[in-house]
């Protein structure tokens, strides 16, 4: 029973984080769930929630979505999934995770300086910025299912509008998670027991998500982006520790 209560609070926090920030469900849930569940079970348990929330947010914020600034990101991701995964397969996983952790941490601290604004203004229309972030995201997602931080970094550079940021991230991750769900389903990773557990905790995730949406509507743009930077730093620490 104590494990179930702990899982309940983890999923509640994950749902809140996801709806407030536009990402972060897996970032919060997977490391904490693995304290009580096997890694594969934790990943499969949270995946339907993650995919469902991304798809809902993609629909909810659809009026704020624009294809043009996202096209380089999608193109880079496709290239990263096909080419980057093969290349990354031959490099040590621990080294790659720590490199990504350092890149994320450096970006967060850089983003707090005035130089980041000048960089964004000069490169906001440069398609190679999106292609590079997409390539990194696709490569890490394909190799280790860690593809979120490069996308968040790119989105935070091309827009300071939280509604547009959430729309971009939701659309991008919806597509990736649908592909991932198909792959996991074909591999037989979804079982009756895990799906039953997912349904059992669904009301908790919905409650946390509603609370997150409420908090987002009452938060300023500055608070929103401080939360984004904090989540990126937490992702950096989690990657370093797990490496």
- Of the CA atoms within 13 Å of residue 137, those in its CB half-sphere come to 27
Mean pLDDT, the chain, whole residue set: 82
pLDDT at 33: 84
Most confident segment among 74-88, 98-112, 160-174 = 160-174
Q: What is the distance between the alpha carbons of residues 59 and 77, in angstroms, rounded to a whole number?
A: 22
Higher pLDDT, 12 or 3: 12
Instruction: pLDDT band for 243, please (50, 70, 90 cuts).
Output: low
pLDDT confidence of residue 212: 93
User: Residue 215: which pLDDT band, with cuts at 50, 70 and 90?
Assistant: very high
Q: What pLDDT is attached to residue 57?
A: 94
Q: 108 to each of 65, 73, 96, 125, 150, how far by Cα in Å?
A: 25, 20, 19, 21, 12
Residue 93's pLDDT is what? 65
Q: How high is the pLDDT of residue 88?
A: 62
- Residue 84's pLDDT is 66
Contact criterion met (CB below 8 Å) for 209 and 16: yes
Instruction: Read off the pLDDT of residues 18-37 as tens digits, 9 standing for 90 and up.
Output: 999 888 888 788 778 877 88
3-state secondary structure 156-219: HHHCCCHHHHHHHHHHHHHHHHHHHHHHHHHCCCCCHHHHHHHHHCHHHHHHHHHHHHHHHHCC
44 has pLDDT over 90: no
Residue that wins the pLDDT comparison between 141 and 13: 13
Using CB atoms within 10 Å of the CB of residue 114, give its burial: 0 to 12 exposed, 13 to 18 middle, 19+ buried.
Answer: exposed
Q: Where is 101: in which H helix or E strand?
A: helix 93-111
> What pLDDT was estimated at residue 15?
93
What are the residues whose beta carbons fall under 8 Å from the beta carbon of 199, sequence distance 6 or more?
Answer: none
Bigger pLDDT: 12 vs 240? 12
pLDDT digits (tens, 9 = 90+) for 222-237: 888 888 888 888 878 8
Q: What is the pLDDT of residue 185?
A: 83
For residue 61, the model assigns a pLDDT of 92
Q: pLDDT per residue over 88-132, tens digit each?
A: 667 676 777 787 788 778 877 877 776 666 776 676 677 788 888
- Alpha-carbon distance of 49 to 58, in angstroms, equals 14
pLDDT at 127: 79
Q: What is the mean pLDDT of residues 69-86?
A: 79
C-alpha pair distances (Å), 41 with each of 35, 78, 154, 179, 196: 11, 28, 31, 19, 12
């Amino acid at each position: 029973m104590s494990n179930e209560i702990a899982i309940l609070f983890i999923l509640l926090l994950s749902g809140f984080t996801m709806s407030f920030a536009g990402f972060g469900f897996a970032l919060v849930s997977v490391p904490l769930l693995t304290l009580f569940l096997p890694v594969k079970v934790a990943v499969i348990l949270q995946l339907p929630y993650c995919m469902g929330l991304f798809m809902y947010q993609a629909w909810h914020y659809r009026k704020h979505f624009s294809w043009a600034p996202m096209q380089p990101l999608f193109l880079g991701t496709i290239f990263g999934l096909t080419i980057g995964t093969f290349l990354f397969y031959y490099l040590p996983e621990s080294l790659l995770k720590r490199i990504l952790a350092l890149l994320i941490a450096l970006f967060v601290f850089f983003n707090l300086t005035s130089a980041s604004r000048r960089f964004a203004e000069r490169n906001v229309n440069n398609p190679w910025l999106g292609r590079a972030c997409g390539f990194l995201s696709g490569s890490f997602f394909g190799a280790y299912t860690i593809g979120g931080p490069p996308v968040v970094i790119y989105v935070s550079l091309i827009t300071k509008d939280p509604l547009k940021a959430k729309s971009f991230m939701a659309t991008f991750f919806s597509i990736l998670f649908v592909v991932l769900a198909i792959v996991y389903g074909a591999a037989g990773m979804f079982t009756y027991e895990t799906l039953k557990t997912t349904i059992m905790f669904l009301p908790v995730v919905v409650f946390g998500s509603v609370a997150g949406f409420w908090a987002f509507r009452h938060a300023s743009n500055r608070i929103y982006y401080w939360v984004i930077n904090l989540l990126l730093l937490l992702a950096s620490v989690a990657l370093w520790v797990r490496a």
